[in-house]
A and B are shown apart, each in its own frame.
Chain A
């Protein structure tokens, strides 16, 4: 349960605020991911970092800006968000050196944009 941690767990922000979400993995993995989970929607992959390089950006608006300073830490910087960005933001990590790409999720940050 403590392999992937996220802070904060809950965040309420106005549309003009700037905030950052933090994710940390303690599993020795080499890939990290940001997902968005909205009500009644599947998990939407936002960004993928493998070996600290961004390898995927699924047409995410520029108001979301990821940062991966090392293989254990991942940030999601938020600015001028919209109310429809309110969702659960999940971080995950995996080890892409092995036969499977099993992803381990953090507990998520519940974001509310007013």
Chain B
């Protein structure tokens, strides 16, 4: 089955700096890659997603890149703010399929 790895497990950055989180997946059939943000004590919430027919997607300070050949995708957060502090989860799935696997998460701390 699908296996998703995520690095780093923890990340601390200064406010205003950029943060990058990387994920790799094993199933080449995966075609949908969402990113979720989970603040302390709250539910995971989708922040951005990308499909396999797109190499990059951007939404304000957040961007995701996908390399299908290498089977990895990354989350980029620019101009980080303290409210970006949370655990971020990547996931890989086959749309309408039965695989929806999350990475182990990255705890991001943005230091003021």
Contact = CB atoms under 8 A, between A and B. Distances in A.
B51 interface: yes
A8 B103 CA distance: 27
A72 B3 CA distance: 30
A55 interface: yes
B98 A48 contact: yes
Interface residues of A, number: 20
B73 interface: no
Contacts of A106: 43
B104 A42 contact: yes
Interface in B65-107: 89, 93, 95-96, 98, 100-105
Interface of A: 33, 41-43, 45, 48, 55-56, 90, 96, 99-108
Contacts of A41: 104
A100 B42 CA distance: 23
Shortest 7 CB-CB contacts between residues of A and residues of B: A43-B102, A105-B43, A42-B104, A42-B102, A101-B95, A56-B98, A105-B44
A100 B102 contact: no
A27 to B, nearest CB: 13
B46 A103 contact: yes
Given A90-B44, A103-B46, A105-B43, A45 B101 contact: yes
Contact of B93 (A55, A101, A105, A107): A101
Given A33-B100, A100-B49, 19 more contacts: A42-B89, A42-B103, A42-B105, A43-B44, A43-B89, A45-B100, A48-B98, A48-B100, A55-B98, A56-B98, A96-B95, A100-B34, A100-B95, A101-B95, A102-B34, A103-B46, A105-B36, A105-B43, A105-B44
